[in-house]
Amino acid sequence: MGVLRAFWVAAAIVAVAPFPAIAQSGAKAVPGKPATASPAKKKSTPAATPASAKVKSTRAKATYSAAAARARRVRLARARSTAYLAQPRFKTDASGATVPDIRAEAAIIYNPETGQVLWEEKAFDQRSIASITKVMTAICILEDGPDLDEEFMVDRADTRGASVTHLRAYERVSLNNLLHLTLIASDNAAARMLARVSPRGSSGFVARMNEKAAELGLPDTRYVDPSGLLAANVSSAYDMARLIAYAADDPIISGIMRTETYTFRTSRRPVSIHSTNQLLRTANVDVRGGKTGFISRSGYCLASLLRVPELNQTVAVVVLGARSNAGRFWETRHLLNWINSRAKLLVGGDGGHAPQP
So what's the architecture of 90-346 in CATH?
A: 3-Layer(aba) Sandwich (3.40)
Residue 66 contacts by C-beta under 8 Å, 6 or more apart in sequence?
A: none
**What is the pLDDT averaged over residues 346-356?**
47
DSSP classification of residue 353: B
Given this model, what pLDDT does residue 76 score?
76
Distance CA 172, CA 266 (A): 6
pLDDT digits (tens, 9 = 90+) for 117-137: 999 999 999 999 999 999 999
Please check whether residue 98 is in contact with residue 119, taking contact to mean a CB–CB distance below 8 angstroms. no
**What is the pLDDT averaged over residues 316-331?**
96
Q: Tell me: pLDDT of 205 over 70.
A: yes
pLDDT band at 156 (very low <50, low <70, confident <90, very high): very high
**What is the pLDDT averaged over residues 325-350?**
82
Query: In 3D, which of 317, 319, 275, 282 has the Cα closest to residue 299?
Result: 319
What is the separation of C-alpha 314 from the centre of its chain, rounded to a whole number of angstroms? 29
**What is the pLDDT averaged over residues 297-317?**
93
β-bridge partners, 195: none
Q: Output the average pLDDT for the chain.
A: 84
Please check whether residue 282 is in contact with residue 333, taking contact to mean a CB–CB distance below 8 angstroms. yes
β-bridge partners, 108: 120, 318
Domain ranges of the chain: 90-346
**What is the pLDDT averaged over residues 13-35?**
43
Distances from the Cα of 21 to the Cα of 13, 25, 30, angstroms = 16, 6, 15
- Residue 142 CB coordination number (10 Å): 17
pLDDT digits (tens, 9 = 90+) for 97-112: 878 889 999 999 999 9
Torsion of CA 74, 328, 319, 291, to 10 degrees: 100
HSE, side-chain direction, 13 A CA sphere, residue 127 = 32
Distances from the Cα of 253 to the Cα of 169, 176, 357, angstroms = 26, 11, 29
Instruction: Give the burial class of 354: count Cβ atoms within 10 A of its Cβ; 0-12 exposed, 13-18 middle, 19 or more buried.
Output: exposed
Distance CA 80, CA 349 (A): 38
Please check whether residue 117 is in contact with residue 108, taking contact to mean a CB–CB distance below 8 angstroms. yes
Distance CA 209, CA 63 (A): 49
Distance CA 182, CA 78 (A): 27
Distance CA 237, CA 123 (A): 5
Please check whether residue 253 is in contact with residue 245, taking contact to mean a CB–CB distance below 8 angstroms. no
How is 173-228 classified by DSSP, letter by letter?
A: EEHHHHHHHHHHS--HHHHHHHHHHSTTHHHHHHHHHHHHHHHTT-TT-B-SSSSS
Of 163-167, 176-180, 216-220, 309-313, the poorest mean pLDDT is in 309-313
3 state DSSP class of 135? helix
Q: Tell me: pLDDT of 147 over 90.
A: yes
